[in-house]
Structure 1
């Protein structure tokens, strides 16, 4: 696409999203919050985005998509995150499950699932983490056993955001016992409303419920719900995590706090925070450039594993520093769970865990550099 045309398209998309979120806020239909992409769930808002063609933007039209670029999609996601909009209903399906199915799923699976994600008829949760596994994604015990017509799934997942709302789950399961734990893993799409699936809420310290435990007890999965090749799950999930780690949500989850900081130093001339906030804004500019480079790599058909890991590692540190900076103002002295600062503070322990800990990310970066 011509660079000038791309710039104009992105500007138009930003304006459209800005007007939509402003109208919703003015009507009292949502209040901006930190960590909105994970914690703020509103099917109505997501479906309005879908009606405007703003979900599944990069997918082929035959599968319900808009055939736009990942750079254009980045413009939309940045504006949604800056507005603290309630996007959790579609975020996981649009961000990573759809692209994973598009890359690796059978045509039957693409035709079945992708249009439903794009219209928000399908809401996905992620069945990755397991009890006692920590950040070791390969320590999967959940197992799928081959049976006539498909698979039987038994196991236990944890920290599964919005499983109580989800119509479908992405599940990483062991389909073969192998010498190395990274081998013998496969990816599946599982219906959440079938017999054998149970969801137990996990309420956090703020009294919010978005985490869950999910148990699968001999759950039947039709054969075509396998994503990609049997036993190739580890290679596929590492690629998929580049979609998860390389997005603007690794940089802008605490944007409402940064906006407050900027307003504060603007109103308090000569504040000692001017230099600190200036450095944060400069870091944000660099991180946004990294987001764009990841998006451009995706448009080029690459799986930018290392770039996404770098972005998440640096983005986690940036977001923690934004929150810490607000502590130096009266805005941060008495945080409440209703304030942008309080919401970001409560969410911050998860910044360095979800999508991979710092140690995991540094290992990925080092290995990728060694191969280069």
Structure 2
């Protein structure tokens, strides 16, 4: 793991500002806290409000609409939004990883085209990595990118693309050269695909409840001009692994169910329950440990590093932790989930139970992440 870091003194003032804003929103009844809001909480008005306050694209330079802030400053804002169960899905992918990746690998024209809109909360992105036969094993990607006059033609299918039916564009990982069995990660490239392009079909993948967050995105000879190639042709794998450090290590990996944990403690206190101190204490102590680990990675990102191995550890441990919060909530309080409730403990628990299977899939399954850790430690 990277060395531990502490938040700078200015973080306390920033945290107070974010909490005051969230309290105003709650008092106005603008939204109801939910679990897993970075998937299900799509609210473009709320996202624009954050952009107006300078709380999106915070680490981007001012010339691209950002604040030039540290990843630790962004960490404070993100932590407060998730802890409050605020609706952050609209800007989530763009703010978390698209912006930093464009800053690192994008051309000047690409940065000028997308970054100001991301910082303003007006441009939304998805991620086009997973495929029907290539989930966590991205080396198995089958989407083809074929060279044509002036650019590339993409043919293939992406799945589990959160928010694609509302997003403006996404990064698509495609095979731009024949697969080489001696190096399965060679020949992959990334492309910026605007989702209203001819030949793009977006098909919903509804949840059991009928909610629509995920999508299948089909490319039928979709033209992508040369100026929309992200980074270097053939360097897609290196770029994607760098991008995944942002996706796997943030506080969302252990705070998606924090509103449920807070509500659980409230229910136990209100009921005068005893004998649960050990279970709650164990959860809170592990929460604090995961936070320290995640903060260390944010500090490493602030130094320009991309600690993929440490990020995989946080994601694996965080996924297991969040499911244990759900287990505790089901066992310690005898309130049955009420899917029809608009808020409160029953709704938080119902949301968490519904989304729990997805925790282990987004950003890589636990089994794949453990393989990454084992290879990084020289164990396989």
If the TM-score is normalised by the length of the shorter chain, which range does it land in? over 0.9
1:261 and 1:277 in contact (8 A); partners too: no
1:160 aligns with 2:168: no
1:106 aligns with 2:116: no
- CA distance in structure 2 between the partners assigned to 1:7 and 1:332 by the alignment: 41
Query: What is the 5 A alignment of 1:44-123?
Result: 44-123=45-124
- CA distance in structure 1 between the partners assigned to 2:38 and 2:337 by the alignment: 25
Aligned residues: 367
- CA distance in structure 1 between the partners assigned to 2:14 and 2:325 by the alignment: 27
- CA distance in structure 2 between the partners assigned to 1:370 and 1:337 by the alignment: 50
Which structure 2 segments of 5+ residues have no match? 1-5, 342-346
- CA distance in structure 2 between the partners assigned to 1:191 and 1:38 by the alignment: 21
Residue of structure 1 equivalent to 2:229: 226
- CA distance in structure 1 between the partners assigned to 2:273 and 2:48 by the alignment: 45
- CA distance in structure 2 between the partners assigned to 1:231 and 1:42 by the alignment: 36
Query: What is the 5 A alignment of 1:261-280?
Result: 261-269=264-272, 271-280=274-283
TM-score (norm 1): 0.95
How far has the Cα of 1:264 moved from its partner? Answer: 2.6
Match of 2:351 among 325, 333, 343: 343
Query: What is the 5 A alignment of 1:115-194?
Result: 115-180=116-181, 181-194=184-197
Q: Secondary structure at the match of 2:363?
A: coil
Residue of structure 2 equivalent to 1:320: 323
Q: Residues 6 and 247 (structure 1 numbering): CA distance in 2 closer, same or farther, change over 3 Å?
A: closer
Q: Residues 335 and 313 (structure 1 numbering): CA distance in 2 closer, same or farther, change over 3 Å?
A: farther
How far has the Cα of 1:291 moved from its partner? Answer: 1.2
TM-score (norm 2): 0.93
Q: Provide the aligned C-alpha RMSD in A.
A: 1.6
Q: Secondary structure at the match of 2:239?
A: helix
Match of 1:243 among 232, 241, 246: 246
1:34 aligns with 2:42: no
- CA distance in structure 1 between the partners assigned to 2:211 and 2:340 by the alignment: 10
2:264 and 2:333 in contact (8 A); partners too: no
- CA distance in structure 1 between the partners assigned to 2:118 and 2:248 by the alignment: 20
How far has the Cα of 1:289 moved from its partner? Answer: 0.4
Q: Residues 335 and 318 (structure 1 numbering): CA distance in 2 closer, same or farther, change over 3 Å?
A: farther
Provide Cα deviations, 1:112-169, integer angstroms capped at 9, x if missing partner.
Answer: 2211211123210111111132422221111111112211111111111111101111
1:283 aligns with 2:286: yes
How far has the Cα of 1:100 moved from its partner? Answer: 1.0
Q: Secondary structure at the match of 1:333?
A: coil
Q: Residues 58 and 108 (structure 1 numbering): CA distance in 2 closer, same or farther, change over 3 Å?
A: same
Which portions of structure 1, spanning 4 or more consecutive aligned residues, are displaced by more than 6 angstroms?
A: none
How far has the Cα of 1:335 moved from its partner? Answer: 4.7
How far has the Cα of 1:64 moved from its partner? Answer: 1.4
Q: Secondary structure at the match of 1:67?
A: coil
Residue of structure 2 equivalent to 1:366: 374
Which structure 1 segments of 5+ residues have no match? none
1:56 and 1:65 in contact (8 A); partners too: yes
Match of 1:352 among 354, 360, 366: 360
- CA distance in structure 2 between the partners assigned to 1:59 and 1:297 by the alignment: 17
- CA distance in structure 2 between the partners assigned to 1:140 and 1:86 by the alignment: 32
Match of 1:294 among 288, 291, 297: 297
